Structure formats: structure tokens, C-alpha cells
Amino acid sequence: MQISTDDRDDVLLRRAARGDEDAFTCLYKRHQAALYRYALRMTGSVWSAEEIVQEVFMTLIREPRKYNSERGAVGAFLFGITRNRVLKHLERRPREFSIEDVGLNTPYYREPVDPVTPAVWAEQRERVAQIRDAVLSLPEEFREAVVLCELEELSYEEAARLSSCPIGTIRSRLHRGRALLLAKLELLRQTPRRATANG
């Protein structure tokens, strides 16, 4: 049977559970990128994000009957598994994890080559890395609210549903997360810049 881009996720999941590899591949392609972005932004590690997403889809293929259509869409189910895996990963990580350990030497994101001059590109890259480090340094509940609402651009309702908490809690966490993030970025802005070749 041929896969249509209009096939619903629950239909694809039933077919995948019966061994249809094309249906599973289609589900993977539909949801992998969003799950990976979330895991990457929450863990700050390419390796961890890839591992988490792989575990999520292995769970889906091993135990497709865990999905219950009455409790929501397949995408929300996959996000729930991803979130649980991320939280377990963060619990196992040492508490002393510092921003210094998360420097530019760690391959968080694969950034595209920018056609501007190397100096401008290096400065932009440093700024982006500082913002990512600031997001990663937020406490988990605030980081999750910022990732879901600001970076993934979900509504308060969607973020609250995915985080299993009231909308008011998401708003409060987002407000606090934004305030902490702005404070951290302000501190970075006030830090004297490194000496350049000109100065």
C-alpha cells in the first residue's frame, strides 16, 4: 500500500505496528525534527538529543499499543515520551554541570557557513553561543517554558498540555524564565569584550 502525505498519524501508526516500514518512515519524517529540536534545546547536547529521539521512536515501534487516540494526537504522545526521556537525562546529569563545560567546543548546533567576513561570522557565532549557554543555564522548568513558547513558538495552551501543568503555571514560568534570561544576557553585554587584533 502506498503512503500518502495526507494519511493521518494514527493510521500510519497502525500500519507501522503491522510491520509497514514506509508508514514508520513517514511518521519519523513528520515528527523527528521537532522532537530533536526540543531535546537539543533542553539538553544542550547533539549526542543526547539524537539518542533521546532514537529511544522515542524505538519505543513507538516496540510498543505501539501504548498510544491511546482518546488521550490525544500521535505527535503529542511522541512529545510526551520525548519529554520524559529528557527529564530522565537531566536527572542523571551531574548537578555541577557548568556553563564552562558547555563552551564553543561542544557541537550543539551545526551552523551554516555565513558569507560575511570571518570576523563578523565569529562575532555572530559567539553571540549565538552565549544565548544558548544562557538558555541552558536556566532552571529546568523555566528552560522548558522558554523552549516551548519562545523557541518552538507553541501557544500557552499547547505548552501547558505538553508540560502537564495549568496555563497559569506556564505563563508564570515563562515570565520568570524570560526575566532570568534577560538578566543573564545583560550581564554578558556588560562584560568587557575580548581584545581584538585592532585594539
pLDDT in tens, the chain (199 residues): 455 556 788 888 888 888 888 888 898 999 999 999 999 888 888 888 999 999 998 888 888 888 887 788 888 889 989 999 998 988 887 654 444 444 444 544 444 444 555 666 677 777 777 778 888 888 888 999 988 888 888 889 988 888 889 999 999 998 888 888 888 877 776 665 544 444 4
Characterise 88 by phi-psi region: left (phi > 0), alpha (psi -120 to 50), beta (else). alpha
Instruction: Give me the numbers of helices (H) and strands (E) for the chain, helices first please.
Output: 8, 0
C-alpha cell at 165: 501543568
Give the fold, CATH level 3, of 1-98: Rna Polymerase Sigma Factor; Chain: A (1.10.1740)
Side-chain half-sphere exposure of 64, counting CA atoms within 13 A: 16
User: 111-199: same fold as 1-98?
Assistant: no
pLDDT value, residue 97:
45
What's the CATH fold of domain 111-199?
Arc Repressor Mutant, subunit A (1.10.10)
**The three three-digit cell numbers of residue 164, written as one number:** 502537564
Residues 6+ apart with CB under 8 A from 99: 133, 136, 137
Q: What are phi and psi of 153, to 5 degrees?
A: 60, 40
Question: How far does CA 52 lie from the centroid of its chain?
Answer: 11
pTM listed for this prediction: 0.59
In the prediction, which pLDDT does 192 show? 53
Domain parsing of the chain, residue ranges? 1-98, 111-199
pLDDT at residue 4, as a whole number:
56
In the DSSP assignment, the letter for residue 194 is P
